[in-house]
Structure 1
């Protein structure tokens, strides 16, 4: 009977909705202009020079490559000073007060820190600029000279961007290191750049205890204070020649000894701004040299495509600032007077791992309008929403599916659904604060399913961008009005894209029906090269017709409207024994969509005729499956290694592979389920959650060989 009631109730709702559509259609058509929206979505966005697909492709929105956001502002510090002059009393940087913290023991025996936070407190633009000026003066008083480098090794926070703006103002090139790096990697970055000052956080100071004797150039450690300012780091075993300061002390010293404007040489567009170490997904990290001009070009390109940034916007800042996506996003927001509220992946939503149950996550309190994400986080949101839906009653599931499919059909025909959005999807929007107007994903390919799903549920454009550290994060960006999925948009106005033949993969710009080839990005955003690595610089960078290009190694295809789709990657391509090529990342992106799979790493041995896969399961869904199979879920390690679970996971892989229309040769023939969670702290994924294939292979080499050796 409940089934009948659910079906009748949903049937009545459908009837009312369709009747409402019929009655209001003429008015709706005139007011909301779906035909116009579709024309905007389908417009030509980029063209090749002389209509020759072998020539560079450029945006149709500019007849030249733009190098600055604001004429007359040639450096990042000038751009921020202009923002201070224009938006001085407005909110600039905000963070939440830590009210309390406690240990919470999990069923697995692990102990997690759970926290309760208060409201956001804010510094306005004028206050931030004063802190920037004073901190920079304090660095000068410590003996740092313009042109000398300084390391920032800390978690994303307002203090990080204040330190960065101070360095950019006084012409101290910043060396960025991910806060999750181990002691050995930090030592490598510090020693290669020969810095005398390291800025870090209270939580990271301990990492220098044993390594400072191996960092001969370091003279000063500056730490960002703990929220409880009475706590100071334990530095009693530090070398006596290294002085340790709090950031506030350095700032106060600068305030007490003002440096007159003009004392330091004015920064130039060609000056080095950042040495940004890549995340090292394919080997040792490389230091990418980014000038002020590179960053200014990238910001100009990104802002033109995103558009309409302003005082009404609030950006939630939580991705690593050592990643080019987050750094340029924050600099672009600051240029337009946007308020930046700081968060972390562990506190962003009410369900985040560090938020005490029953208290509010950062997005609920901040109510952001703008958010940047990496695909892994977007895919997790996708899965979490589906889990909530499937846990609901039969009526709620049927209503959700009807509402979703109804809105999807309307969306693809250029229509809006304000009533459905308010009645059905309001609770989903509330996960990220309820005011989100734009979400942009970058760092890796976002699946078309996740992109479309979030377009519908969060009731805002969810676009993809494509760029690299070597292009200052700029390349292509999906337009907010573009209703397509699975593509990364057209070139932004600061750069152009050239497709180059790749014979081994069989790609050429003259392929039919669409041009394909290796993506080369050229323009003022392209980096100066790699730090102390002339050989790799010569290999990856080149100049054609006076334009500097970076050779990405990614394979792209231009669609009819000038949008780019990433279809392959040279380094991810494995040739199997029978001659078939398999794109590892393409298969991994597809398989991660299954509810049982949180992450997957594909491995292909060129001496074999099939691939194998290591799978990190979704523990919640795996536990439910195991319970249904009669397995003891008290020991999830044993569950993961169970042959029954392995068989079920193989079934899931085949199911998702067929759904994604993968070829037989692309679907792994054997899988191993691992109980480890792949995190940046473990060194198996980057801070942008890209797989580190070599470390993964090294850790699981025995399991990979066992899969190939087993019958």
Structure 2
């Protein structure tokens, strides 16, 4: 069958490849792509600094000449694409409660089509909101907070703040009360923009702890009156504030001061994976440099593209991605993880999820979501009959082989992978992964089954999300690409961990990112204590990431470790917790895992969120009975899962001392709402350690 298929498709593929070559888009074989330089060391040293080949002479700082602030960028887009769709939101047709077989009740929704605001309408809405906020006493260079889910109103409010030079304090919608109060008090805000749900469920309870707060602007249109709030606090609907802004006596648009490139645009509070959230000060010029670097890695980005927005806008990846889209006239359709696909938790059975309706061409995702898609599809493959499963695996391996040669597989894409591709709407041409390392298995799966390249990126809030993104024609796994055109990267020796720039075959060390995208530091943090930031002799700002990387011959970066994730066991061996977790998460039994090691002990332990379907199948195979909670608390099931984990670890060539000797199965998944992971699904190790303290003592023999 493979021979016949290859014979039939050879001539069309061969001719198409030559057409592609003449258009300059043939990317060559995997071997040819690996030899092509993505970045070079500017000074020729193994530690760098490394720059993208196209930015050897000069780092990029902005998309268009003269467009040096975010208000100018949006004005440019509104003038160039006035009637194009800008922001879209699905209409809610109905809501109902659906009782599950286990007795739990979930709220399900039926959603209609997307309703769109044009670029011109969005620009007008933002300018009116900014004028209305000014009429309520908000002043330039005075902080204003936004505490809201990802939705169109979030971005409208952000652009209003950029226009009127109100530094925007962003807070995750899943932060706990103390963290919210900390951010609001530290930035001394008097105005906050939020949603009705978050106001009533989260914000209202801590208002007494935020004495400076005076105005709450609710993005929902209902209700119109807000009784029962503490004295001195007034609550307004966003629409009412916009109406206030268009009154002739309150028209602040003509007399508003223009922001400077060096002015603070955003104070972005981190998700707090290592303690109290810190506010990162990001200037207009920082953001513009960052999105310039990102845009250069997305080929043919234009107004025909549609982006689906569902990640937290308080995260630098999502905010940067949406601003990249705005700068190029793309359409942004809003979604949420609960309504993303037809099978999502809030979508009523039989109705369509957001990807099916929107059919996006661009999408950003964190590895946690991609891993989930990969495991769900592979579970369905395992359930196929032997003929279907064999054909799928055959097509999968055949396409992998063809991708390595630089060829496409149109018939495989059409007849085998079309159904998988339709999970994301069927039109996706670029997937951008960021926030954490993406496993090789998941990356290969997305490239093959979704028939589009996956650009794996690396960046931090402190670098405006910009650092590296792999070239979309580079299908190699485990690497994050070369530096973006807005920054450069060098390696710093870390002797304690044994990483040096003179290591062979690849130079290794702590990753330092420098360039115009490196932010201004932490808000109200003593500059002397901000040792992770420094300025070099050329007046360029640098950030020490704490991540360990190595540069390959073609200038691509690979993340191999993290200083904070490295634990030294009692016998002297170093264990990289993140590395072990990345390997073990590929096991089908595992939905999530946190590896823990105490320096006073000789072995590693782990906390595991098991995959429900696979754990139940394992229990049935070995005759273990009980409820879900009873199975997770079963000593027998712990031993069975640990045995399979050990086999997976040995197959992946982990060292014996890296493999957990004892585990604890968790019946509850880790979500941002539980406080055990961040909004980007990064592990909160401190909170996990506290949560499982009794189990840690048990697994370490009562110590």
In 2 relative to 1, CA 466–25 (structure 1 residues): closer, same or farther, beyond 3 Å? closer
* Deviations 1:445-479 (CA, angstroms, capped at 9, x unpaired): 11111111110000000121100000000001111
Say whether the 8 Å CA contact 1:614–1:671 is kept in structure 2: yes
1:624: how far off?
A: 2.4
Aligned to 1:89: 83
User: What secondary structure is seen at the aligned counterpart in 1 of 2:288?
Assistant: helix
> Bigger CA drift: 487-496 or 621-630?
621-630
Say whether the 8 Å CA contact 2:13–2:408 is kept in structure 1: no
Say whether the 8 Å CA contact 2:28–2:405 is kept in structure 1: no
User: What secondary structure is seen at the aligned counterpart in 2 of 1:209?
Assistant: helix
1:541: how far off?
A: 0.4
Dislocated runs of 4+, deviation >3 Å: 21-42, 229-233
User: What secondary structure is seen at the aligned counterpart in 2 of 1:650?
Assistant: helix
Aligned to 1:567: 560
Say whether residues 1:283 and 2:278 are aligned partners. Answer: no
Say whether residues 1:375 and 2:403 are aligned partners. Answer: no
Separation (CA, whole Å) in 1 of partners of 2:544 and 2:12: 53
Taking the TM superposition and a 5 Å limit, the aligned residue runs for 1:140-289 are 140-206=134-200, 207-225=202-220, 229-231=221-223, 235-257=226-248, 259=251, 261-289=253-281
In 2 relative to 1, CA 32–393 (structure 1 residues): closer, same or farther, beyond 3 Å? farther
Say whether residues 1:610 and 2:603 are aligned partners. Answer: yes
Separation (CA, whole Å) in 2 of partners of 1:543 and 1:247: 42
Taking the TM superposition and a 5 Å limit, the aligned residue runs for 1:253-332 are 253-257=244-248, 259=251, 261-332=253-324
Question: Which of 19, 26, 48 is the equivalent residue of 2:7?
Answer: 19
In 2 relative to 1, CA 26–66 (structure 1 residues): closer, same or farther, beyond 3 Å? closer
1:250: how far off?
A: 0.6
**TM-score if structure 2 supplies the norm length?**
0.96
Question: Which of 569, 588, 591 is the equivalent residue of 1:595?
Answer: 588
* Deviations 1:216-250 (CA, angstroms, capped at 9, x unpaired): 1100111111xxx55468x5331121000011111
> Bigger CA drift: 654-663 or 34-43?
34-43
Question: Which of 533, 542, 547 is the equivalent residue of 1:549?
Answer: 542
User: What secondary structure is seen at the aligned counterpart in 1 of 2:179?
Assistant: helix
Say whether residues 1:412 and 2:404 are aligned partners. Answer: yes
Separation (CA, whole Å) in 2 of partners of 1:506 and 1:495: 26
Say whether the 8 Å CA contact 1:282–1:694 is kept in structure 2: yes
Say whether the 8 Å CA contact 2:77–2:327 is kept in structure 1: yes
In 2 relative to 1, CA 35–348 (structure 1 residues): closer, same or farther, beyond 3 Å? closer
In 2 relative to 1, CA 536–609 (structure 1 residues): closer, same or farther, beyond 3 Å? farther
CA RMSD of aligned residues (A): 1.6
> Bigger CA drift: 540-549 or 263-272?
540-549
Say whether the 8 Å CA contact 1:202–1:232 is kept in structure 2: no
Say whether the 8 Å CA contact 2:396–2:448 is kept in structure 1: yes
Say whether the 8 Å CA contact 1:41–1:481 is kept in structure 2: no
Paired residue total:
694
User: What secondary structure is seen at the aligned counterpart in 2 of 1:427?
Assistant: helix
In 2 relative to 1, CA 642–325 (structure 1 residues): closer, same or farther, beyond 3 Å? same
> Bigger CA drift: 159-168 or 587-596?
587-596
Aligned to 1:4: none
* Deviations 1:414-443 (CA, angstroms, capped at 9, x unpaired): 111011111100000000000000001000
Aligned to 1:675: 667
In 2 relative to 1, CA 657–672 (structure 1 residues): closer, same or farther, beyond 3 Å? same
Gaps of 5+ in 1: 1-12
Aligned to 2:62: 68
> Bigger CA drift: 298-307 or 689-698?
298-307
Separation (CA, whole Å) in 2 of partners of 1:236 and 1:607: 56
User: What secondary structure is seen at the aligned counterpart in 1 of 2:657?
Assistant: coil
In 2 relative to 1, CA 26–440 (structure 1 residues): closer, same or farther, beyond 3 Å? closer
> Bigger CA drift: 623-632 or 190-199?
623-632
Separation (CA, whole Å) in 1 of partners of 2:186 and 2:27: 57
1:32: how far off?
A: 5.0
In 2 relative to 1, CA 98–577 (structure 1 residues): closer, same or farther, beyond 3 Å? same
Separation (CA, whole Å) in 2 of partners of 1:399 and 1:232: 59
Question: Which of 105, 108, 120 is the equivalent residue of 1:111?
Answer: 105
* Deviations 1:158-210 (CA, angstroms, capped at 9, x unpaired): 00000000000000000000001122211111111110001000111112323
In 2 relative to 1, CA 324–537 (structure 1 residues): closer, same or farther, beyond 3 Å? farther
Say whether the 8 Å CA contact 1:529–1:537 is kept in structure 2: no
Taking the TM superposition and a 5 Å limit, the aligned residue runs for 1:369-448 are 369-448=361-440
Aligned to 1:3: none
1:535: how far off?
A: 5.1
User: What secondary structure is seen at the aligned counterpart in 2 of 1:211?
Assistant: helix
Separation (CA, whole Å) in 2 of partners of 1:651 and 1:255: 67
Separation (CA, whole Å) in 2 of partners of 1:699 and 1:421: 45
1:578: how far off?
A: 1.2
Aligned to 1:694: 686
In 2 relative to 1, CA 455–536 (structure 1 residues): closer, same or farther, beyond 3 Å? farther
Say whether the 8 Å CA contact 1:274–1:289 is kept in structure 2: yes
1:304: how far off?
A: 1.1
